[in-house]
Amino acid sequence: MAIQQYSVNQHPIQALLTWVESNEIAIPEIQRPFVWDATKVRDLMDSLYQGYPIGYLIAWRNPDVKLKDGSMSSGKRILIDGQQRVTALMAALLGRRIINKDGDYLLDKPNYFTYIMPARETKQGIQTMKSESPLDFHKIAEMTEHDARVYVELIRWPTGAACPRCGGCDPYKLKAKPDSKRPVRPGVYKCRECRKQFTVKIGTIFEDSPISLKKWLMAFSLICSSKKGISSHQLHRMLGVTYKTAWFMTHRIRHAMTDKSFDRKLTGTVEVDETYIGGKMRGGKRGRGSENKTPVVALVERDGSVRCQPMDMLTSNNLLAYIHKNVDRNATVMTDEFKSYIRVGKHYEHHVVKHSIGEYVRGNAHTNTVESFFSLIKRGVIGAFHHVSKQHLHRYLNEFNFRYNRRKCEDAERTIMAIKKAEGKRLFFYSPKNAIA
């Protein structure tokens, strides 16, 4: 009878992380040190975010193997192959200290509930201050500009600085000479490949902005933690900038919150409704057909995400095309009796609640979830913004979409998620010729 020499199993990434956290998976003494560069670590992280397989691991159990820390394995999962992938996960996801060719290198731990103050140089040497309190507005206010810049660098480049122009992963930081008449600015890097200088602002919404990164972080924190939004007037009073500057900052942040594309369609029970948003106008028609308001359509997945955007006309073709683009064919769609939804039943399981006869809930059929989302937007317009023009309405909706889709996150986590999305996006006050927004 043949004895099985090995077994092949597929495990989710969460299982692998659990093994790493519990020290069940171990690296033997004979394995070579960590040699991956930052590019490969980023590629691994991208694969995880996209849901792609990250390769295979070969492990065995032997109680007599000596580990790198000098201890014995004691029946742990001993890596034969896959050490670099596991070490990358230890560093990038769990914040473990690793060894690279330059010595100890601590990657930023992506625990958004813990505020990790960037290392600062003191008379006693390099010190890192940690606090278990969230990265809230008050913590950011205590930062220096140096702290804010280093923190943004850690958020944008968790595996080390990379050139935003050519993608080079081995830049070096320029340091001012003591006797220089024109010292280099703090935070300037130079790429070894394209020989261009850059800072963490290049290629983000911060580029060419004279506003300090500390104030940018404060603005991000205030917008991400305000459930119904915050006005530019309030922001300009709190940050000590002009109203024009605060208005432009808020729109840049809303532009950064934009989801360029959605990787999945809404499933399960999806509620669809429309509303009209704009400032109040004395006289004239209210609701549908109002000259001062813009139609807005929202699709809300129960216990899930929202998709919301302005629409020129609420025709049957426009609504059906938007639903087809964002809703899975196997989903159940809930609407009111608006006549433009009549054709939805030909393509989806469609339930209608008739508000005209006082029906708002019939079993599981209702549109209360999407209406509660609209109430947040309207409370923001009435209480904070007072008027929203059609020209900029889509960015206000981006803000509410972003917060709603991350409503289960803490404010600190939501803030860092927004800062991460600032990369690769630009917004100009006046659109220059040949500019790419």
Mean pLDDT of the chain: 78
- Cross-strand bridge partners of residue 306: 300
Residue range 296-314: average pLDDT? 92
Alpha carbon 215 to its chain centroid, in Å, reads 19
Angle between helices 13-21 and 83-92 (to 10 degrees): 80
- Cα–Cα dist 163/197, whole Å: 8
Q: What is the pLDDT of residue 216?
A: 95
Residue 53 token pair: 């397989």
Question: Which of 204, 122, 196 minimizes the C-alpha distance to 425?
Answer: 204
Rounded to 10 deg, the angle between the 213-225 and 232-239 helix axes is 140
pLDDT digits (tens, 9 = 90+) for 85-117: 666 666 555 555 554 444 433 333 333 323 333
**Residue-level pLDDT at 103:** 40
Would you kindly state where each structural domain of the chain is located, as residue ranges?
13-99, 269-388
Which range (44-53, 107-116, 339-348, 408-417) has the least confidence? 107-116
* Tokens standing for residue 129: 């201050």
**Of residues 54 and 437, which shows the higher confidence score?**
54
pLDDT value at residue 371 = 94
Distance (Å, whole) CA 102 – CA 178: 26
Question: Using 50, 70 and 90 to split pLDDT, how confident is the model at 157?
Answer: confident
**Residue 288, pLDDT score:** 62
Burial of 2 (0-12, 13-18, 19+ CB in 10 A): exposed
pLDDT mean over 37-41: 61
Q: Report how far residue 366's alpha carbon sits from residue 336's, in angstroms, rounded to the nearest whole number.
A: 8
pLDDT digits (tens, 9 = 90+) for 172-194: 889 888 888 888 888 899 999 89
Handedness of CA 352, 357, 363, 365 (dihedral sign): positive
Distances (CA, A) of 26 to 35, 243, 363: 17, 56, 53
- At the top level of CATH, the class of 269-388 is alpha beta
Instruction: Tell me how far CA of residue 309 lies from CA of 287, 299, 312, 323, 342, in angstroms.
Output: 17, 9, 10, 12, 21
What pTM value is reported for the model? Answer: 0.68
Please choose, from the candidates 2, 100, 13, 19, the residue with its C-alpha nearest in 3D space to the C-alpha of residue 59: 19
Say what the pLDDT of residue 8 is: 66
Q: How confident is the model at residue 168 (pLDDT cuts 50, 70, 90)?
A: confident
